[in-house]
Amino acid sequence: MKKSRPIILLFCCLFLTSSLYSQIDGEDLLSMLEEEETIDYATAAFKTNRVINLHSIENTAKGVLDVKISHRFGFLSGGFDELFGLDAATIRFGFDYGITENLMVGVGRSSYEKTYDGFAKYRILRQSKGKVNMPITAAFFASGAIKSIPFQNPDRENYFSSRMSYTFQLILGRKFNKYFSLQLSPTVVHRNLVRTKLEKNDVYALGAAARVKITNRLAINAEYIYVLPDQLAPGYRNSLSVGLDIETGGHVFQLHFTNSTSMIEKGFITETVGNWSDMGVHFGFNVSRVFTIVKPKIIE
């Protein structure tokens, strides 16, 4: 029995060593597999689902309600008599909700032309690296709006459909690094009724927007919307806006200057009249406050 003890001890050592190496190799292999299966999504390319007027590539999270108050004072060109626009105001109340991680919807009401609007935005691609390398985020946006302001000429035959307009947009964007994001928004706006024969019912435009992060809570945004020539009557201009995002916990304040009065696509793309060179610019702000309506399920 004494002679067999060294053999038994040797066998036990070999077994334990083999088991240890197997466990280490298994953990390394599992770690490698987990690394290969990880998808690292880009986040916070923009602070909210709006740049200023334009929709951004960001979506409201699933189960979250985003309450928005958008406000524009009058034109700065009003001078001291109108306190540089502070005597006038245009406002929009909006409610955006995330149905899934990729689908969000929203409704709103604007004082400008007493307009009601609704939209849906679906993210079809999401920027990521790791198991899936996707260089951009892409989303499809569609909206409809109804003006409730009285018709200018009530004596003629007016149709309810004349109050309606539609917008379709493809939003393509990329977060290049933690400081800079850029997006492009090819757009078509359809208006059932236009004011003059010089205007087109279908208006094609290209929006561009950028964000430069300053600190964790501050960022500068800018956007410009180029409308293709010979689609609008003389006097209408391309929309140009610049602003500052300020994040304070659950709120995001967006302070900005814009030559657009309306805060929906049909308005700021096809009906902008302000001229930056003549101080035809509004000071305004957007306030965003999010509420979690449906808490995400925790997988244990």
Domain CATH number, residue 188: 2.40.160.40
Q: Give, as one character, the DSSP assignment of residue 55.
A: B
Q: Which pLDDT belongs to residue 61?
A: 92
pLDDT at residue 299, rounded to an integer = 54
Instruction: Count structural domains, the chain.
Output: 2
Indicate whether 277 belongs to any domain. yes
Task: Show the domain range for 238.
Answer: 42-292
Q: What is the pLDDT of residue 202?
A: 94
Q: Looking at the domain assignment, is residue 1 inside a domain?
A: no
Burial of 296 (0-12, 13-18, 19+ CB in 10 A): exposed
Q: Do residues 92 and 126 touch, judged by C-beta distance below 8 A?
A: no
Residues 127-157: b if buried by 16+ CB within 10 A, e if exposed: bbeeeeeeebbbbebebbbebeeeeeeeeee
Q: Are 261 and 72 in contact (CB under 8 A)?
A: yes
Confidence at residue 7, expressed as pLDDT on a 0 to 100 scale:
47
Residue type at position 286: N
> Helices marked H in the chain — which ranges?
4-37, 265-270
Is 258 in the same domain as 276?
Answer: yes
Q: Say what the pLDDT of residue 49 is.
A: 93
Whether 215 is covered by a domain: the verdict is yes
**Does 299 fall in a domain?**
no
Residues 262/269, Cβ–Cβ less than 8 Å: no
84 shares a domain with 22 = no
- Residue 125: inside a domain: yes
CA-CA distance, 75 to 83, in Å (whole number)? 10
Same domain, yes or no: 117 and 29: no
> Do 147 and 36 have their domain in common?
no
pTM above 0.85, yes or no: no
Q: Is residue 4 part of a domain?
A: no
Instruction: Return the pLDDT at 31.
Output: 53
| Predicted pLDDT of residue 157 | 79
Each residue's pLDDT tens digit in the chain (300 positions)? 444 454 444 444 444 344 434 443 444 544 554 555 798 888 889 989 999 999 999 999 999 999 999 999 989 888 877 787 787 889 999 999 999 999 999 999 999 999 999 999 999 999 999 888 999 999 999 999 999 888 877 778 788 888 999 999 999 999 999 999 999 999 999 999 888 888 999 999 999 999 999 998 999 999 999 999 999 988 899 999 999 999 887 788 899 999 999 999 999 999 999 999 999 999 999 999 999 988 877 655
Query: Does 265 reside within a domain?
Result: yes
pLDDT, residue 194, reads 87
